[in-house]
Structures are given as structure tokens and as C-alpha cells.
């Protein structure tokens, strides 16, 4: 497997994430975060997930940026503090531990892109093979999302509904 | 028809919640009656559900009509049905308790307020029944999002607490999702029953071990297990008095139930990581939480914060109970979970009423209750008896079965932890009652406000429930032993 | 140990995930600016989603949109659609959480007039 | 606070772009079964077009009044989704089992196809409404703040 296309994208991804974290001025940081989302969408498209890439491009690069900007317009657009305190001890111990755990757990994962991995052979072929016959829907992601696992999608829609109601409850004191 | 019961239990609060914004546009005053009606119907349905489960065994409900590993499945067995009755009745009482005081403070925002409460209740139903790892995640997020907003509605300090709750809660959800990802990559399925057949033989795989640890960390944050409890005391203390009982009796408990499901129904009680039994680790963590939580409760000055730490200590006790690894301990742990949900609701009802009536916020303020509020003091005595564990309250029998189980398993560390936490609990309640009965400072000139009837009724009901749980502990634990045990215990 | 490192080098996207996750985690927990915390949270959530998407990849497979209307489907020629579904849901959860958290940030700013956590804690006392 | 933009170019471009964006949203929504996209993206794009109209023409323009009215329909999309599920219950199947939808003249696979289509519309409506609602919430500044 060649990584010639992926490696530069991943480097750009980490650079943009770093930019979003390190830039002091919050409005540029949010725009850099938007470009981070965009690169993420590219990586996902490369990994064969066009649906996810599409949603990330619309939601991450678009909607999230709009939400951030609207909040920043109402609040302070700058991180005014110049000196940052030293990191707390718990973070210095906890983060390497967490990183070690991530890598430790990954060493037994099936190889990247392995067509014989459990995830590729156990349940998912059923969706791919039956989607057309069961639902007449060629886009398997849609048929899994809206039919085989439709209940998850209902709750997903409830999550976004909850968020809307929560924003109303928190921010609109005068109108219902 | 009866096999639709789990779906019905979810649909009642859910459909009411999604129609409230539109109904509330024209008729704001309908929100409360509609919410109460929905949750009452849900309570009745949950009682019917237990009867059906007793009669005809567990119900497995496949959403969208797809057989389990393909579709999403809900499992309605003994454990889920008993927990569901407890939680829905508590939700009903909390809803009645939450009434008049919140209406005046919120004004027009009463519509989103009740919508979020109903969504929280619906999400709790989902987590209790879910038989699918990812389904649990989505429901946890619904519960969490409504929880954040409901904590933040008080404004001021509550906003900051809610923000911290959100940061830690999202961290927990991300870690849980990560764990689900590792499980999925290693097994290829998300359904709990299907996983249960594949995971035990994979316990040597580092991916499964790592996934299990991540899921435990994530749910540990959600259930406020001791070193990960940072969000809970602030959130419960600063949340509106009407909301604290909901959070205390519902939110942390369902995370614990999700963990019990994963631990006993997916991984299996006999699982070992590198030859260390997982359950042994659970007991250790539970013992730590039980003792340190009770000790921290002793050092608090605010009433609600003290009760919050009491709840953290109880999460530890429940983990000890289920972690002992024999039927007595497991049933005792689950029974204690039910008791804890009731006790937490009761304590926060009382804290809310004391705040409303006498403006009690700190322990020092409790002196105002002296000689003034016999019914409130009486209820507090009942709750304290149950928290510490005097017969004939439910708390006593819960601890009794946990200790019995621990002795059976010859796990003396667990016995010691339960006893130490009991002594510490006794100590902090003595500290409370000392203020009420022996305080010599003259009561301040605060003129008490008469508490509304709904508050008194709800406190009375939960106090009675604590004693009833004690009196009927035998049949309940018997039922749990008969129907709610995981296989392999 | 060397073998492990070699194994990890064969999955560059996993290494990217670990870096993003830990960096975001660190910012989310320790940064004093509330909006920066949320940027960290956003990066943590997207990195977990990244991990899930990477599970779905199969070497030499195409996107999970069936090409021919009829005839049997070779499952190995399409990537695994289930992680995509999970990630779609997770992205929605992420944006919903972001909305609520930004609402909280806006409400905190209205009350305390700052986004600096230490300042807010000072004003609380 | 959001106000109408005063640049002619922006206004012109807005008039031109917004219908196109809405058309694209509808395309994405209804072709979700054949290509990438679906209810969620369609809803977001449609909601975004309305947000754009509010940002460009201001909240009081006639174009934006629709968006303001729409916000009160919070929960409508979910009612569509759950309603389809409820119809399945009435038809004798499990919740959301589209095969039990009582549509005469359609076999099971086509019923599921219709079910997917209807629920996608539900998702799109809910998402579009909620996105607009969140934007309104985030950009509202109430007078009783700044204690």
C-alpha cells in the first residue's frame, strides 16, 4: 500500500490542528479549524467514506465554523493571556499513560485495510449483499443508516433536537 | 402485543417531549400536566412490564424488524424491568416535586425546560434497555446534553459547573466511543449478545483489553467513579433544586447500569486481564470510591455538596456489591443501586425543601430547622438511617446482602470497605444532626416560607419508599436472584 | 519494541489519530480559554471519528455505493459501511455538543464578561 | 446582533446563490439513496441557505421571515420520523419496521424504500429547523444579561 497521497494530507492535518490550537487570536483559529475539517474530509474521502467526508465538509468546515464565529462575535475574540502556567502534574502523568494505552491496545488490531479483519467479514457483508434486495437502495450507508439501524438515526436526530432545545433554554430568556 | 412494551416505555416520554415545543407555543400551562401524564403512563407501563417479565420471561425487541446482529436490539429482562420501575417512579415523583418553584423562576422557558426533562427520562429508558454498544452511546449523549442544559439553567455559578460537566462528560463519551471502536475492530459486531459469544475467547487480545479500559474510563466519568468524579459535586450543588434529584437519581445510575451490562453480559464475570480477574479490580476501585467519597462528604460545608459526595461513595458500594462475583453480592449490589437512586432523590428533595422553606445552604444553616420543621427532620432521620444502614430501611438490607456476599467470597477487603464507609457516613450524619438538635446559636430571623404541597408529598412518598424497600427487601432480592442474574455467575 | 514501532509506521493514520487525540485532550483539560477548550474538544471528537473511519478501510475496495443494480454483490470490493454509519451519528453528536457548549460559553460571557477560566473562578468567589 | 448587509454585490450574490443552495440541498436530500448525502446533509444545507439569507438580508426581510416562522416547528421533523415508525407499529410490525407500512400495491422492498425516503425527509426537516434555531439562539442578545 502506498502512502504517497496520504502522508502529506496527514501532515497538513496535524499542522492545521496545531494552528487552531496555538493561534492566540480566536477568529483565525476558528478558520484554521475549518480548514482542518476540510483536510479531514479529504482523508476520509481517500479512505473510501464519501458520505462521512461530505458530512464533515458541510458540518465541520461549514456549520461548526458558523457556530464558533457567531459565539465569538458576541464574546471576546481574543485570548488575551500572554503567559501560560506550567501544565498540571496530572496531565504530565496521565497523557503519556493514555498514549501508551492507545498504542498498546492498537498492537493487536487487525492490519490497516485488511479485507479479512473481523469488522470486514462478520456483519458488514450482510448489509452490502442485501441492501439492494431488501431496500432497493444502492447507497449502502443510507440503507444501514435509515433502515437496518434506523433507531440509532432516530436518536441521533433526537440529539440534535435536544441541542436546539438546550440552546433555547440557555440563551433565550425573553422569548419562548 | 406485550412484546412492544419496551418500545412503548420509550415512546411515551419521547413523543410527549417532541410535541411539547409545538403545544407550548400556544398553551404554556399545558406543559406540566402533559409531562406528568406521560411519565405516569410510563410508570404504569413499567409496572405492567415487570408483571409480563415475571410471567413470560425476557423480551427481546428488534427495532426495524431486523434480527439482532444486523439490527438494533433492546433487552428487557429482569434487571432492566426492575430498574425501569424504580427510575420511572422516581422520575414521576421528581417531576411532581419540580413543579411550582420552577414555574415561577423560568417564565417562558418552561417549555424547553419540560421538554429536556422528558428527553432525559426517555434517554434513561434507552440506556437501561439497550442491547447494542453504540445505541448506549447515543442515548448517553441525549441524557448528557439535556443534563448540561438543565444544570446551566440556574445561571451564574451553575453555568460554570455545567461547562465543566460538559467538558468532562464529552471526554467520557469520546473515551467510550473509542472503546466501542476497539471492540468493533476486534470483533466486527456491536450487538451485546453477539459480542458475548466472541469476546470471552478474545480476552487475551490487547485490543479488547484496551477497549474495555477505555469504555470503563468513559462510563466511569459518566457515573462519577471516585478519581473521575470531578464534575459531579459542583454540578449537583449549583443545579436548580428541582433538577438535582433528577440528576442524582437517574444520570449516574444509568451509566453504572450500562457498565454492569457490558461487564456481566458481554465480557462475562470470569474475565481476566493478564491473569488478574476484572471483577477483583472493580472491587478495589469500588472500595476506594466508597471510603474516600464518604470521607470527603465528612469535610463538606454545603448540604447539597455533602449529599453529592455521599452519592459518590454509594457508587463505590454498588461496584463492590456487583464485583464480588457471586449471586448474593450481585443481587445485593443491584438492590443497593435501587435504594441509592431512591435515597439520592430523597436527600435532594429534602435539601431543596429546606432551601425553599428556610434558606438552608450550608450545614450551619441547618440550625434553623430546630424545633420548627418536625416533618422535615423526621424525613431526614429516615433517610439518614437508610444512608448509614440501620434496619428496617432499604439501605440496611442492601449493605447486608453486599456484606453477606463478600463473606461468602471471603473478600475481607470488601467487608472492611463497606464497614469503614458506613462509619464515615454515620459520622457525617451526626455532624448534620448535631446542627439540628444541639446547636446553641439563636436561630436567625429568617421567616420560613410555607413549602408547597407537592414538595411535602414527594418527600413523604420517598421516605415511605425507603422503609417499604426495607420491608419488602426479601421478595425484591428474591426476584433479582431469580431473574436478573447474568449467566456464569 | 522495534517491531511494534515498525507496525505502527505501517498505519500512519493511526499515529495521526494518537497525536490529534492526545493534543486535543491536553488542550481540552488544561487550557484556560473556554473557546480554546472547545477547539480541543472538537479535535478530540474528530480524531475518534477518524479512528472509526480507518476501521472501515479495505485494501483495493471502493466506496460502499453499489455499482450494478442487479446481480450478486462481492462484499470484499466495497468498504465496510457500518463504521461510516457510526461516524455519521458521531459527527451529529459532535456538532450538537458543540452547539450546547457554545451556548454555555455565550451565557458565561454574558454573566462574567470574560472567557478566561481563572478570571471566572476569581469572580465566583 | 445580525443586521442586513449593505453591500450591493453581497445582496446580488445572495439573491443568486440562495435558491441554488436550496436546490442543491433538495438534490442531496432526495439522491441520498443513490449517492453520498441524505437527510442530514440535505437538512444542514437547506438550513444553511436560510441562515445565509438572514445574514445577508437581515432578520426583518421578508425572505427571512420564513426562517423565523420555521423555528417554531421544532420537533416536527422528529414527529414525521417517529410517525413513520408509529405507522409501522399500527401495521403490525416492530417500531420502524418499514415492511409493515400499509401501502397498497407495493412489495416489501419498495415499502422499505418509501420508508427510507420519508424518514430522510423527517431528518432533514428536523436538522434544518434546529440549525436555524441554534443560530438564532447564539446570535440573540437579551437585555437582562450583564449582571
Which CATH number is C20's domain given? 1.10.287.3510
Q: In this predicted structure, what is the pLDDT of residue B124?
A: 93
The CB density around residue B101, as the number of other CB atoms within 10 Å, is 20
Report the number of distinct structural domains present in chain D.
1
CB-based contact C41 B148, cutoff 8 Å? no
Sign of CA dihedral A140, A143, A149, A152: positive
Q: Is residue A101 domain-resident? A: no
Q: Is residue C68 domain-resident? A: no
Name the DSSP class of B264: I
Q: Is residue C94 domain-resident? A: yes
Taking CA–CA distances from C39, the nearest residue in chain B reads B167
Subunits adjacent to chain B (3 or more Cβ pairs under 8 Å): A, C, D
Would you say A150 and D96 are in contact if contact means Cβ atoms under 8 Å apart?
yes
Beta strand B73-76 with B59-62 is: antiparallel
Name the DSSP class of A110: P
Report the number of distinct structural domains present in chain C.
1
Would you say A151 and B131 are in contact if contact means Cβ atoms under 8 Å apart?
no
Out of C28, C52, C101, whose CB is closest to B171? C28
Q: Is residue A96 domain-resident? A: no
Same domain, A128 and A172: yes
Q: Is residue D102 domain-resident? A: yes
Q: Is residue A139 domain-resident? A: yes
Instruction: Spell out which residues of chain A touch residue B116, defining contact as CB-CB under 8 Å.
Output: 162, 165-166, 169
Per-residue pLDDT tens for C23-72?
Answer: 999 988 888 889 999 999 999 999 999 999 888 888 777 888 887 666 67
| Distance from the D145 Cα atom to the nearest Cα atom in chain B, whole angstroms | 10
CB-based contact A58 D138, cutoff 8 Å? no
Residue A74 in this model has a pLDDT that exceeds 90: no
Q: How far is CA B169 from CA A98, B155, B222, B465, in A?
A: 17, 19, 6, 31
Out of B19, B25, B64, whose CB is closest to D96? B64
**Model-level pTM greater than 0.90?**
yes
Q: Is residue A20 domain-resident? A: yes
Q: Is residue D147 domain-resident? A: no
The range of the structural domain enclosing residue D92 comes to: 8-139
Question: Which residues, 6 or more positions from B216, have their beta carbon under 8 angstroms from its beta carbon?
Answer: B179, B259
CB-based contact B72 A156, cutoff 8 Å? no
Residue B62 in this model has a pLDDT that exceeds 60: yes
Confidence category of residue B444, pLDDT binned at 50, 70, 90? low
Out of B17, B18, B25, whose CB is closest to D72? B25
Residue C95 CA to residue B177 CA, distance in Å, equals: 15
What is the full DSSP assignment across A33-87?
HHHHHHHHHHHHHHTT-HHHHHHIIIIIIIIIHHHHHHHHHHS--B----SPPPP
The range of the structural domain enclosing residue A37 comes to: 1-80
Radius of gyration over every alpha carbon of chain A, rounded to an integer in angstroms: 21
- For chain B, the residue count is 489
For chain B, the average pLDDT equals 88
Q: Is residue D16 domain-resident? A: yes
Q: In this predicted structure, what is the pLDDT of residue B469?
A: 92
Backbone φ and ψ of B132, nearest 5°: -145, 130
The last residue of a domain, from among A32, A62, A80: A80
Per-residue pLDDT tens for B217-273?
Answer: 999 999 998 888 888 999 999 988 888 898 888 988 999 999 999 999 988 887 787
Per-residue pLDDT tens for A19-40?
Answer: 999 888 889 999 999 999 999 9
Confidence category of residue B384, pLDDT binned at 50, 70, 90? very high
Q: In this predicted structure, what is the pLDDT of residue D147?
A: 32
Q: Is residue C49 domain-resident? A: yes
Residue B336 CA to residue B433 CA, distance in Å, equals: 24
The range of the structural domain enclosing residue C87 comes to: 2-62+75-124
* Lowest mean per-residue pLDDT among A159-168, B20-29, C15-24: B20-29
Closest CA to C74 of C85, C83, C61, C84: C61
Residue D130 in this model has a pLDDT that exceeds 70: yes
Q: Is residue D145 domain-resident? A: no
Confidence category of residue B370, pLDDT binned at 50, 70, 90? confident
DSSP H or E run through B60: strand B59-62
Q: Is residue A105 domain-resident? A: no
Where are the extended beta strands (E) located within B79-190?
none
- Alpha carbon D99 to chain centroid, angstroms: 26
Q: In this predicted structure, what is the pLDDT of residue A156?
A: 92
Report the number of distinct structural domains present in chain A.
2
Same domain, A73 and A135: no
Same domain, A68 and A124: no
Per-residue pLDDT tens for B92-112?
Answer: 999 988 776 666 677 778 888
Look at residue B242 and give its three-state secondary structure.
coil
Amino acid at each position: 500500500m502506498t502512502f504517497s497521497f496520504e502522508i502529506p494530507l496527514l501532515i497538513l492535518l496535524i499542522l492545521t490542528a496545531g494552528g487552531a490550537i496555538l493561534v492566540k487570536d480566536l477568529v483565525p483559529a476558528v478558520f484554521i479549524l475549518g480548514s482542518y475539517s476540510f483536510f479531514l474530509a479529504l482523508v476520509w474521502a481517500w479512505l473510501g467514506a464519501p458520505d462521512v467526508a461530505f458530512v464533515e465538509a458541510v458540518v465541520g468546515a461549514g456549520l461548526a465554523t458558523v457556530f464558533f464565529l457567531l459565539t465569538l462575535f458576541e464574546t471576546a475574540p481574543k485570548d488575551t493571556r500572554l503567559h501560560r502556567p506550567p501544565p498540571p502534574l496530572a496531565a504530565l502523568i496521565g497523557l503519556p499513560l493514555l498514549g501508551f494505552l492507545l498504542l498498546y491496545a492498537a498492537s493487536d488490531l487487525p492490519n490497516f485495510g485488511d479485507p479479512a479483519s473481523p469488522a470486514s467479514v462478520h456483519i458488514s457483508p450482510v448489509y452490502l449483499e442485501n441492501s439492494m434486495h431488501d431496500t432497493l437502495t444502492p447507497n449502502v450507508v443510507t440503507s444501514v443508516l435509515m433502515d437496518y439501524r434506523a433507531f440509532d438515526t432516530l436518536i441521533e436526530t433526537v440529539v440534535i433536537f435536544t441541542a436546539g432545545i438546550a440552546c433555547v433554554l440557555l440563551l433565550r430568556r425573553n422569548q419562548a | 402485543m406485550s412484546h412492544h412494551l419496551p418500545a412503548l416505555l420509550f415512546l411515551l416520554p419521547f413523543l410527549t417531549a417532541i410535541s411539547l415545543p409545538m403545544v407550548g407555543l400556544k398553551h404554556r400551562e399545558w406543559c406540566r400536566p402533559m409531562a406528568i401524564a406521560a411519565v405516569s403512563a410510563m410508570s404504569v407501563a413499567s409496572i405492567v412490564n415487570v408483571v409480563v417479565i415475571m410471567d413470560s420471561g425476557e423480551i427481546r425487541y428488534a427495532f426495524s424488524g431486523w434480527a439482532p446482529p444486523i439490527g438494533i436490539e433492546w433487552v428487557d429482562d429482569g434487571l432492566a424491568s426492575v430498574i425501569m420501575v424504580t427510575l420511572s417512579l422516581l422520575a414521576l415523583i421528581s417531576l411532581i416535586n419540580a413543579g411550582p418553584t420552577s414555574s415561577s423562576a423560568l417564565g417562558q422557558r418552561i417549555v424547553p425546560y419540560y421538554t429536556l426533562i422528558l428527553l432525559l427520562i426517555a434517554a434513561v429508558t434507552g440506556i437501561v434497555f439497550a442491547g447494542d454498544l453504540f445505541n448506549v452511546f447515543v442515548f448517553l449523549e441525549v441524557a448528557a446534553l439535556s443534563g448540561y442544559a438543565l444544570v446551566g439553567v440556574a445561571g451564574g455559578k451553575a453555568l460554570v459547573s455545567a461547562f465543566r460537566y460538559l467538558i468532562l462528560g464529552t471526554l467520557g463519551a469520546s473515551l467510550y466511543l473509542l472503546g466501542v471502536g476497539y471492540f468493533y475492530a476486534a470483533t466486527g459486531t456491536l450487538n451485546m449478545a453477539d459480542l458475548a459469544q466472541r469476546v470471552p475467547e478474545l480476552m487475551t487480545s490487547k485490543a479488547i483489553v484496551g477497549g474495555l479500559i477505555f469504555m470503563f474510563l468513559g462510563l466511569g466519568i459518566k457515573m462519577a467513579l471516585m478519581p473521575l468524579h470531578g464534575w459531579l459535586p459542583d454540578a449537583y450543588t449549583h443545579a436548580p433544586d428541582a433538577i438535582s434529584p433528577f440528576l442524582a437519581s437517574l444520570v449516574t445510575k444509568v451509566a453504572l447500569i450500562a457498565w454492569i451490562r457490558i461487564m456481566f453480559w458481554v465480557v462475562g464475570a470470569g474475565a481476566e486481564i493478564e491473569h488478574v480477574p476484572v471483577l477483583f479490580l472493580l472491587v478495589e476501585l469500588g472500595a476506594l470510591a466508597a471510603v474516600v467519597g464518604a470521607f470527603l462528604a465528612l469535610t463538606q460545608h454545603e448540604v447539597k455538596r455533602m449529599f453529592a459526595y455521599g452519592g459518590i461513595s454509594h457508587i463505590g458500594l454498588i461496584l463492590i456489591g456487583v464485583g464480588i462475583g457471586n449471586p448474593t453480592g450481585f443481587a445485593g449490589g443491584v438492590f443497593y443501586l435501587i435504594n441509592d437512586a431512591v435515597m439520592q432523590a430523597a436527600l435532594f428533595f429534602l435539601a431543596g425543601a429546606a432551601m425553599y422553606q428556610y434558606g438552608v445552604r450550608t450545614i450551619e444553616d441547618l440550625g434553623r430547622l430546630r424545633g420548627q420543621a418536625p416533618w422535615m427532620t423526621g424525613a431526614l432521620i429516615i433517610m439518614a438511617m437508610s444512608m448509614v444502614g440501620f434496619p428496617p430501611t432499604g439501605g440496611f438490607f442492601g449493605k447486608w446482602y453486599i456484606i453477606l456476599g463478600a463473606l461468602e467470597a471471603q473478600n475481607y477487603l470488601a467487608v472492611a470497605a463497606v464497614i469503614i464507609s458506613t462509619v464515615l457516613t454515620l459520622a457525617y450524619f451526626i455532624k448534620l444532626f448535631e446542627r439540628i438538635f444541639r446547636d446553641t446559636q439563636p436561630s436567625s430571623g429568617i421567616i420560613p416560607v410555607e413549602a408547597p404541597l407537592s414538595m411535602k408529598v414527594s418527600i413523604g412518598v420517598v421516605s415511605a419508599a425507603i422503609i417499604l424497600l426495607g420491608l419488602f427487601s426479601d421478595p425484591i432480592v428474591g426476584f433479582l436472584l431469580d431473574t436478573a442474574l447474568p449467566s456464569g455467575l | 519494541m522495534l517491531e511494534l514501532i515498525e507496525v505502527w509506521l505501517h498505519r500512519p493514520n493511526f499515529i495521526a489519530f494518537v497525536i490529534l487525540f492526545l493534543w486535543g485532550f491536553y488542550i481540552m483539560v488544561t487550557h484556560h480559554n473556554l473557546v480554546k477548550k472547545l477547539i480541543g474538544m472538537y479535535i478530540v471528537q474528530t480524531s475518534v471519528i477518524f479512528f472509526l473511519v480507518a476501521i472501515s478501510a479495505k485494501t483495493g475496495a471502493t466506496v460502499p455505493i453499489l455499482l450494478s443494480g442487479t446481480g450478486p454483490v462481492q462484499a470484499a470490493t466495497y468498504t465496510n459501511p457500518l463504521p461510516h454509519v457510526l461516524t455519521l451519528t458521531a459527527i451529529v453528536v459532535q456538532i450538537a455538543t458543540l452547539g450546547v457548549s457554545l451556548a454555555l460559553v455565550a451565557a458565561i460571557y454574558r454573566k462574567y464578561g470574560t472567557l478566561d477560566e481563572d478570571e471566572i473562578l476569581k469572580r465566583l468567589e | 446582533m445580525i443586521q442586513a448587509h449593505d453591500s450591493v454585490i453581497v445582496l446580488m450574490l445572495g439573491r443568486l446563490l440562495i435558491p441554488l443552495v436550496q436546490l442543491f440541498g433538495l438534490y442531496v436530500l432526495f439522491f441520498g439513496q443513490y449517492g453520498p448525502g441524505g437527510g442530514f446533509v440535505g437538512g444542514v444545507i437547506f438550513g444553511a441557505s436560510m441562515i445565509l439569507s438572514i445574514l445577508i438580508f437581515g432578520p426583518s426581510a421578508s425572505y427571512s421571515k420564513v426562517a423565523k416562522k420555521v423555528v417554531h416547528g421544532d420537533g416536527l421533523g422528529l414527529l414525521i420520523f417517529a410517525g413513520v415508525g408509529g405507522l409501522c407499529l399500527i401495521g403490525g410490525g416492530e417500531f420502524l419496521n418499514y415492511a409493515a407500512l400499509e401501502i397498497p400495491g407495493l412489495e416489501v422492498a419498495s415499502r422499505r424504500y418509501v420508508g427510507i425516503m420519508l424518514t430522510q425527509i423527517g431528518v432533514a426537516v428536523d436538522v434544518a429547523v434546529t440549525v436555524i434555531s441554534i443560530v438564532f439562539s447564539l446570535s440573540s442578545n437579551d437585555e437582562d444579561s450583564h449582571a
